């Protein structure tokens, strides 16, 4: 397993009561609200989709940095170190920003799979 199952459970607990689904992605685990990523975990930490409007606020929190994919920053996504994700207030604020971003988007409609 490439991610911390204990951290996965913490995020599940934080998202209790929300209609989220889980999907294994890129060696980690993503949590989705109406088909949109809210947050996820990977080896070494977590990521939150806070949106471009909230990115500066999220980056100002301790232990939060830009999410890099193939060396390039991903707009609206932040990466969170293990020690920062363990801080309840930091995690709660990031979750609040990420849920706000996901709720503002129209639900995705599942596309039929070919085959």
pLDDT at 115: 62
103 within 8 A of 54, measured Cβ to Cβ: no
Q: What is the tally of structural domains in the chain?
A: 1
In a domain, 113, yes or no: no
In a domain, 36, yes or no: yes
pLDDT at 113: 67
In a domain, 114, yes or no: no
CATH number at residue 67: 3.90.1150.30
> Which structural domain range is residue 57 located in?
5-103
pLDDT at 11: 96
pLDDT at 70: 83
In a domain, 108, yes or no: no
In a domain, 109, yes or no: no
In a domain, 9, yes or no: yes
Tell me the mean pLDDT in the region 103-111: 85
In a domain, 112, yes or no: no
Tell whether the model's pLDDT for residue 109 goes beyond 80: no
Query: 63-95, pLDDT tens digit by residue?
Result: 999 998 888 999 999 999 888 898 999 999 999
């Amino acid at each position: 397993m490439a991610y911390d199952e204990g951290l996965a459970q913490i995020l599940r607990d934080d998202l209790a009561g929300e209609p989220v689904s889980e999907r294994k992605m890129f060696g980690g685990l993503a949590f989705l609200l109406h088909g949109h990523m809210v947050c996820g975990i990977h080896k070494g930490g977590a990521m939150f989709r806070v949106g471009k409007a909230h990115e500066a606020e999220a980056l100002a929190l301790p232990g939060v940095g830009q999410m890099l994919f193939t060396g390039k920053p991903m707009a609206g996504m932040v990466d969170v170190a293990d020690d920062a994700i363990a801080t309840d207030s930091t995690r709660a604020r990031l979750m609040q920003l990420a849920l706000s971003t996901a709720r503002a988007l129209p639900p995705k409609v599942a596309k039929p799979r070919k085959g």
